[in-house]
């Protein structure tokens, strides 16, 4: 399953991610991974989750992010949930990449049976119609 958590800056996306990630840690029989840009969630996310700083691994661009997430799934068969904060900052090309990254990660999510959550700093009206079905309500 792929889910987009959308909204403009200051709309509460990161707070929602923290709540969802911590709830996933409590209910998961596997591992929960949270990918962030910079170390700002260290004290908010449960220590039971794997917190990964994308900057520490030089992840820049959509293909690098998709490859990194694919590697996480390939190396850890027990990953149940992956949360990506600041998706558009990591990919670097704004809402133009929302549709392609959503489709690539949807296929990965289905193959690995991991739930993937993308935080996207954009309003629903800015997103391509093809991804609207994945927006969290």
Domain ranges of the chain: 2-134
| Phi/psi of residue 9, nearest 5 degrees | -55, 135
pLDDT for residue 94: 86
**DSSP structural state of residue 47:** T
Predicted confidence (pLDDT) at residue 29 exceeds the cutoff of 90: yes
Quick: pLDDT tens for 45-75: 999 999 999 999 999 999 999 999 999 999 9
For 131, phi and psi rounded to 5 degrees? -105, -5
* Tens-digit pLDDT profile for residues 92-136: 988 989 999 999 999 999 999 999 999 999 999 999 999 999 999
Q: SS3 letters for 13-45?
A: HHHHHHHHHHHHHHHCCCEEEEEECCCCCCCCC
The predicted pLDDT at position 36 comes to 94
At 33 the pLDDT is 97
Phi and psi angles of residue 117, each rounded to the nearest 5 degrees, phi first: -120, 125
Non-local CB neighbours of 75 within 8 Å, separated by 6+ positions: none
Kind plus residue range of the DSSP H or E element containing 55: none
pLDDT for position 3 = 96
pTM recorded for the entire structure: 0.94
Report the Cα–Cα distance between both ends of the chain, in Å, rounded: 14
Largest CA distance in the chain: 37
Task: Out of 2.40.50.100, 3.30.565.10, 3.40.50.300, 3.90.25.10, select the CATH number for domain 2-134.
Answer: 3.40.50.300
């Amino acid at each position: 399953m792929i889910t987009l958590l959308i909204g403009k800056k200051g709309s509460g996306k990161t707070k929602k991610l923290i709540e969802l990630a911590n709830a996933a840690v409590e209910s998961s029989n596997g591992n929960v991974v949270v990918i962030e840009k910079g170390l700002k969630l260290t004290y908010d996310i449960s220590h039971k989750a794997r917190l990964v700083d994308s900057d520490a691994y030089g992840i820049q661009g959509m293909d690098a992010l998709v490859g990194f997430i694919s590697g996480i799934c390939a190396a850890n068969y027990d990953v149940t949930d992956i949360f990506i904060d600041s998706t558009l900052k990591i990919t670097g090309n704004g809402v133009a990449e929302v549709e392609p990254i959503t489709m690539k990660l949807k296929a990965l999510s289905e193959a690995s049976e991991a739930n993937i959550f993308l935080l996207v700093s954009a309003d629903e009206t800015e997103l391509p119609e093809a991804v609207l079905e994945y927006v969290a309500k």
